[in-house]
Amino acid sequence: MKKAVLIGGHSTPALALLKELQKRGWKIYYFGSKYASLRDIRLLSYEYRVLQKEERVAFIPLPAQGWPRSVSWQSIRTIWAFQRSFWKAFLTLLRLRPNIVVGFGGYLTPPVVLAAAVLRIPVILHEQTTTLGLGNRIALPFAKKIALAFSDSHYHIPVPKRVLVGNLLREEVMQPQRTLANKQLLSLKGKKFIYLTGGKTGSLALNAFLARELKNILPEYGVVHQTGELEYQRFLRLRRHLPSEWRRRYFVAANFFANDVGWVLANSRWVITRSGANTISELIWWQRPAVLVPLPISGADEQKKNAAFLAKLGLGVVVLQKQLDATSWPSLLTKLEKLQPKKSLIAREQQLLATSRQKFANLVEKWAR
C-alpha cells in the first residue's frame, strides 16, 4: 500500500485530495495544526475535528505557527516552533517512509518539506490562491511540481515546475446529498435566502454587519449564518429575541459540514463572505453572486486579488472592511442585482474545478517513488 503525507496548511483542498487518494487505496498521514489560531483562545482546528472521525487517517499535530508581520519577540517563538516542527517531521517521516509528501501552503508546509528534502522524499505542492503564498514560496525549491488553482493568475513560477489543475473542492460541496446534518435548513428549499459566512473561524466584522442589518434583510430574505465558534452563543441569543416570523427565517450555526455547505450554496440567492480561495472556487462552481469583504491582513493581499478575480467573472461585489460600517444591505442589494456574470469565463473555471481532484491525484501518483 502506498503512503502519502499531506500537510494541511490549507485544509479544504487537503481534505479533498485525502478522499480521492483513499479511493485509490492509499494510506494517508495528515500533518496539521491541532488548534485554530483565534486570539488567545485555543479551539480545536476544523481539520482535527473532521479527522478525529476518520479512523483510516493518522493525524500528526505540529507546533509550527504563523510568521509575525514585523520583528518582535514573537519572531523568536516562531523560529523555535519551526525548529521543533522540522525535527518532529524529520523523525516521523524517517519512521513512516512515505512515497510522497504533498503540501498545501501555509506556515506548516516549509518545515515538513525541508525534512522531506533531507530524506529525499518527493514533494508536490498545491497553491490555492491567485498569488503564490509565502509558505509555498519557501518550499518551492524543494518541490518536483507545484499545482496551480486558477487559470488567470500571476505566480511567476518557472514553467517546468508548474501545472494547472484547478482548486480542489470536496465532493460533498460539489454534489451535496439530500440528507443534511442540519435538517432545519430544508425548510428554506425554494425560498429566497442569503448565506453569510466568515469561513471556518467566522468573522467578527461580517457578524457585526449582519447584526446591524438583520432588520433590513429579514423582511424579504431568509438568512443562513455561519458565525464561527467565538460568537455562536451571541447570535443564538439575538435570534431568541427576534419576532417569531423573523426567527423562522434565521438559521445560525457555528460551522456546517461540507454537505450542508454544498446544499446552502446550491440553494442560496446571495452570499456575503470573505474571499479566501476555497470560497471563491465554491462560488464559481455554483455561480453564486456574492458580496466579498477581503481579510485585510491576508498575506500579499491575496484575498483582495481573489475578490478581484471573482468580480472579473461578474460574480462579485467587493467591499473593503474599512468601508463595511458605512455600508447598508439595501445599497449592497442594488449592486448585486446589477451584476452580469460572464458565462464563458465562468465555464472555463468550472471545467478546471470539475476534474481538479482527479488531475492532482494523478500528479501525486506520477511523482511518488
CATH number at 266 reads 3.40.50.2000
Amino acid (1-letter code) at residue 26: W
Identify whether residues 76 and 108 lie together within a single domain.
yes
**Whether 269 and 341 share a structural domain:** yes
Q: With a cut of 50, which residues of the chain have pLDDT below it?
A: none
| 302 and 284 belong to one structural domain | yes
| Contact present, 126 and 15 (Cβ < 8 Å) | no
- Please check whether residues 141 and 232 belong to one and the same domain: no
Contact 351, 83 (CB under 8 A): no
Kindly state whether residues 211 and 342 are assigned to the same domain: yes
Are 347 and 360 found together in one domain?
no
Confidence (pLDDT) at 362:
98
Q: Is 132 helix (H, G, I), strand (E, B) or coil?
A: coil
Which residue range forms the structural domain that includes residue 153? 3-169+354-367
What pLDDT is recorded for position 66? 63
Helix (H, G, I), strand (E, B) or coil at 101: strand
pLDDT number for residue 314: 98
Compute the distance between CA of residue 292 and CA of residue 369 in angstroms, rounded to an integer. 42
Phi, psi of 360 (to 5 degrees): -70, -40
DSSP three-state, residue 199: coil
What pLDDT score was predicted for residue 231? 93
* 3-state class (DSSP) for residue 263: helix
Report the distance separating Cα 321 and Cα 209, nearest Å.
Answer: 10
Residue 155: per-residue pLDDT? 65
Q: What integer pLDDT is reported at residue 153 of this predicted model?
A: 60
Q: Give the global pTM.
A: 0.88
pLDDT at position 177 is: 80
Nearest to 32 by CA among 53, 4, 11: 11
